[in-house]
Structure 1
Amino acid sequence: MDFLPLVQRERLLAVALDVAFPAGARLFDEGGEADRFWLLRSGEVALDICVPGRHPEALVETLGAGQLLGWSWIRPPYRWDLGARAVTAVEAVEFPAGDILALCAADPELGYALMRRFTAVVAERLQGTRIRLLDLYAPHASGPP
């Protein structure tokens, strides 16, 4: 959150909680209520998606220290688009969505800064997904079929 001025960081941290999850813990499930997000301090979290007839869930991406986890809290219907599981023990800072949305409403500059940051995260992850899909579906041989 060092992209924010000190006063805004302090407002965010005033509602934040330090949390820890053991390896294997489920942080949230696809379709569940998205009411928080995290800044990962250490450990790894796997994002996954439910594929009918397949268990465990299909891995989408793995996140680590310094990365933001969870953006579904930003927009209605406030439901997780993916699921998340701690691959290793995880330490994080947890931000309750209701408190953050209230801070953003009271301080539009803070809201704008957070939306810009989360938009950048979404764009980066979508680009990564695009590249993985190209790797998965691109032809492996060159020349005519």
Structure 2
Amino acid sequence: MVARTGVFGAMTKEHREQLMSLAHEVSFTAGERVFNEGGKADRFWIIHTGTVALDLHVPGRRPVVVETLGAGRLLGWSWLVPPHIWHLGAEAASPVRAYEFDAATVREMCANDPGLDHELCTYVSGVLARRLRGARVRLLDLYAPYGAGEVP
């Protein structure tokens, strides 16, 4: 049974079933890199259990964690937006089980089903907005004068 939270909560039953027909389960060990910033974004995941840290490369420093994702969350949005290159990196912060989806197959399914395309694009655009806002606040917290990351 697939939980109706996150992306699944944003979809009709029919579209959930279509998407899940493409899923296969994968796992990552704690500390394993899922993808690297700048790499080819040819898949995405919906986390079933565990946590994944999203990070941003900072020259001369270790990657900065900008957000940690848990169960039910979408891991990866760059697969939907050309040129399909990861804008962040991701590392399993704990053992992770996830549903993995081939991006090209999902994009093709969306091209043939405008309703599914709309649901996914609407959901992913919300994820994108939240992640950009989170990255901005995190970077301001790290590098700006005290309190600069607060939103008025």
User: Residues 32 and 134 (structure 1 numbering): CA distance in 2 closer, same or farther, change over 3 Å?
Assistant: closer
Unaligned runs of 5+ in 1: 141-145
Secondary structure of 2:79's partner? helix
Secondary structure of 1:84's partner? strand
User: Residues 82 and 129 (structure 1 numbering): CA distance in 2 closer, same or farther, change over 3 Å?
Assistant: closer
> Between the two proteins, what is the percent identity of the paired residues?
50
Unaligned runs of 5+ in 2: 1-7, 148-152
Q: TM-score normalised to the size of structure 1?
A: 0.88
Please list the CA deviations of residues 55-94 of structure 1 after superposition, one character each: whole Å capped at 9, or x if unmatched. x322222111111110000111111111111010001111
Structure-1 separation of matches of 2:140 and 2:56: 19
Structure-1 separation of matches of 2:18 and 2:146: 50
Of residues 52, 55, 62 in structure 2, which corresponds to 1:48?
Answer: 55
Give the root-mean-square deviation of aligned CA atoms: 1.5
Instruction: Give runs of aligned pairs for residues 100-119 of structure 1, distance below 5 A.
Output: 100-119=106-125
Cα shift at 1:132: 2.9
Aligned position for 1:5: 12
Structure-2 separation of matches of 1:68 and 1:39: 5
Amino acid aligned to 2:52: V
Aligned residues: 139
Cα shift at 1:138: 4.4
Of residues 9, 21, 26 in structure 2, which corresponds to 1:14?
Answer: 21
Secondary structure of 2:9's partner? coil
Q: TM-score normalised to the size of structure 2?
A: 0.84
Structure-2 separation of matches of 1:29 and 1:87: 15
Structure 1 stretch displaced more, 24-33 or 124-133:
124-133
Cα shift at 1:128: 2.2
Cα shift at 1:42: 1.2
Aligned position for 2:88: 82
Give the structure with higher Rg (CA). 1
Aligned position for 2:97: 91
Please list the CA deviations of residues 91-113 of structure 1 after superposition, one character each: whole Å capped at 9, or x if unmatched. 11111101100110000110011
